[in-house]
Amino acid sequence: MSKLSDMKKAKEKAGRFGWLYNLLAIIFIVALVGLIYMAFFSGSPSFDMAKLESAGHHAGSPLAKVHIVEFSDFECPACGVAYGTLERVKQDFNSDIYLTYRHFPLSALHPFAQKAAEASECAAEQGKFWEMHGQLFENQQALAASDLRQYASGLGLDVDQFSSCLDSGKYAPIVASDYSAGIGVGVDSTPSFFINGKKYGNLTYEQFRSVIENAR
């Protein structure tokens, strides 16, 4: 009889305090979600955007409220996805962002990335960096030297000048300089983004939109 009484009392006690346990569980979950949100959106530490933007290729107005610096690799599959995402971001938030592209070829993984980066610089020499940038990301499975010359021809570049530039490796130091700058700010994967001084990994369109809208 005493055992049944004890069990009944324990059940009543658990019932009285059950709401407290549930409340504490809810508070814990909310706090955890908040910490994850802060870790993702606050970024740490803060980086000097002017320094990051001192090299590379730029699109948009430097007066825009949201400055984005991307370190990327033309052969990297995730970077190809990010390219599509950024095209949509640029279309929807064109006046709000200032984008800087910098090279970070992961040559050990992507054997064509280095020359693809140099090809974009050779195209820039003739005023067609962003056009070549698009060609390279849209044709990531075809980045051999012959493919690069084909893209140059399709963009209306002087192919002889482009080929001479590419073969000489004249822009390899520029690519190397970008890579070193990336290492200096902790880039260890591609794509990596710096947005208004905060460092991020690959972002979805929704995440870009949230960051941009919070900055406006």
Dihedral class, residue 55 (left if φ above 0, else alpha if ψ from -120 to 50, else beta) = beta
pLDDT digits (tens, 9 = 90+) for 87-111: 999 999 999 999 999 999 999 999 9
Mean pLDDT of 131-149: 99
pLDDT digits (tens, 9 = 90+) for 141-157: 999 999 999 999 999 99
> Which pLDDT score is estimated for 216?
74
Cα separation, 129 vs 120, whole angstroms: 5
- Residue 205 corresponds to which amino acid? Y
DSSP, residue by residue, 120-170: HHHHHTTT-HHHHHHHHHHTTT--SHHHHHHHHHHTT--HHHHHHHHHHTT
Prior bond of 77 cis (ω within 30°): no
Is 70 exceeded by the pLDDT of residue 28?
Answer: no
Q: What is the pTM of this model?
A: 0.79
